[in-house]
Structure 1
Amino acid sequence: MGRLRDSADEFAFTMAEVARELMQARTVTETLVRVSQLCVETVPGCDHAGVLLVRGEQVQTLASTSQLVVDSDRAQGELREGPCYDAARDATWFRVVHMGAEKRWPRYAPRARELGIGAMMGFQLFTDSDQLGALDMYADQPYGFTAMSEQLAWIFASHATVAVAASRAGDQLRLSE
């Protein structure tokens, strides 16, 4: 699957392909891994992606396309702040266009720059009682995400939420058999 260009037809085709690919994953783990991979393959500017889980005070990386994602999740958990940490906990989303100029997360932003993060997006992925997750997208360069990237990411996160819910239901059915 190639990166998306600016065509409305191509946008629709890409999202239909994403939905089909996500529904082929059989388990929650497979779904989360595929979500991360598809982010990098389809969202313009996305160099790394992953899924972060916040449970109580614990942060865990459930899927990632690179060590950068794991290191970023660890930093957000240690500092109790960051775009993806806050997206998971506050049922919202964040877009950071230039990590070097970011003021909302004064302890996390310098650490993120040390990791090589230029820009980020974080979208709440799912909620289930005390389980809160976020879909994390990273660009190596500042301004790596465009308005088109953000629009696609919103729709992508919605598809991912539905796919995770379907995978959970499938996992529960297999356990009850």
Structure 2
Amino acid sequence: MTPEDVVRGPDVDHAAVVPPSDDFRNELADAAREMQDDDSPKEAMERAVKIATQIIPGCQAAGICVVHRGERIDTHAASDDLVREIDALQHELSEGPCLDALREDHTVVSDDLATDARWPQWGPRVVQQLGLASSVSYRLYSTDKDLGALNLYGAEVSAFTAEDVADGLALAAHVGVALAAAQQVEHLEYALRGRTVTGQATGILMERFDLSPDRAFSVLSRLSQQKNVKLREIAEQIVTTRTLPTV
């Protein structure tokens, strides 16, 4: 990462990014080992945001969010409820550093949220309502795919030094691995649920209309095409209502 990768608010000098200190590297290595001992990626992310508040001096709160289809923001981990409120505001106002980190810049730094022109609504509300004054957001990757953002918040103006920003980037590299694993688990669970509900709907049709398995699945496929909706949605409706959807 070069200094050009760090985007600060207007009228603020770009600070040089310094490499993490040896002490921080040791702390981060210990934290990474603790994260690896967690039972699930979700637990690893929850631990990571708590670690951020412990080993990055300026960090008062931290969170990991994912933006789905550029619209809905989900908070995957939060050091406290303040972060969930922050993400909800970003979703409500469609502006904020998490969105910028995902859409535009690798690392987004704001030394003063109250006056940052990039987020004229979100920034002042975070300061006034939640008592946080500065932030750093890091875009997270896995196999070159944008997955989400690690967000750090400080209670003071200019809470994060150049060294803090570099330290956070090192932590973000570990968080990205946990987030990628969590999404893989989520996708697998979704696929398994889909196969389960499709099987349940097929069974209902077989019993209700005395159909063979192949014929029952053909009925689901035909309904899916006629209504122009995913087969899974048709199956869920049949399982929930125990009736065929109207065309």
Q: What's the counterpart of residue 145 of structure 1?
A: 160
Q: What's the counterpart of residue 161 of structure 1?
A: 176
Q: What's the counterpart of residue 78 of structure 1?
A: 92
Structure 1: how far apart are the matches of 2:148 and 2:41? 13
Of 16, 19, 29 in structure 1, the residue corresponding to residue 42 of structure 2 is 29
Structure 1 residues 123, 69: closer, same or farther in 2, change over 3 A? same
Q: Deviations over 1:78-131 (max 9, x none)?
A: 111100122133362201111122111112111121221111111112468997
1:105 equivalent in alignment to 2:119: yes
Structure ID, larger Rg:
2
Structure number with higher strand proportion: 1
SS of match in other structure, 2:157 = coil
Letter in 1 for 2:104: D
Letter in 2 for 1:15: L
Letter in 2 for 1:69: V
RMSD (CA atoms): 2.6
Structure 1: how far apart are the matches of 2:65 and 2:178? 16
Structure 2: how far apart are the matches of 1:159 and 1:30? 13
The answer on whether the counterparts of 2:147 and 2:179 sit within 8 Å (CA) in structure 1 is no
- Count of residue pairs the alignment pairs up: 168
TM norm structure 2: 0.61
* Bigger relative CO (Cα 8 Å, ≥ 6 apart): 1
The answer on whether the counterparts of 1:32 and 1:62 sit within 8 Å (CA) in structure 2 is yes
Return 5+ residue gaps in structure 2 as ranges. 1-19, 193-247
Identity score, percent: 31
Return 5+ residue gaps in structure 1 as ranges. 1-6
Structure 1: how far apart are the matches of 2:26 and 2:131? 32
TM norm structure 1: 0.83
Of 63, 68, 78 in structure 1, the residue corresponding to residue 82 of structure 2 is 68
The answer on whether the counterparts of 2:42 and 2:178 sit within 8 Å (CA) in structure 1 is no
Letter in 2 for 1:70: R
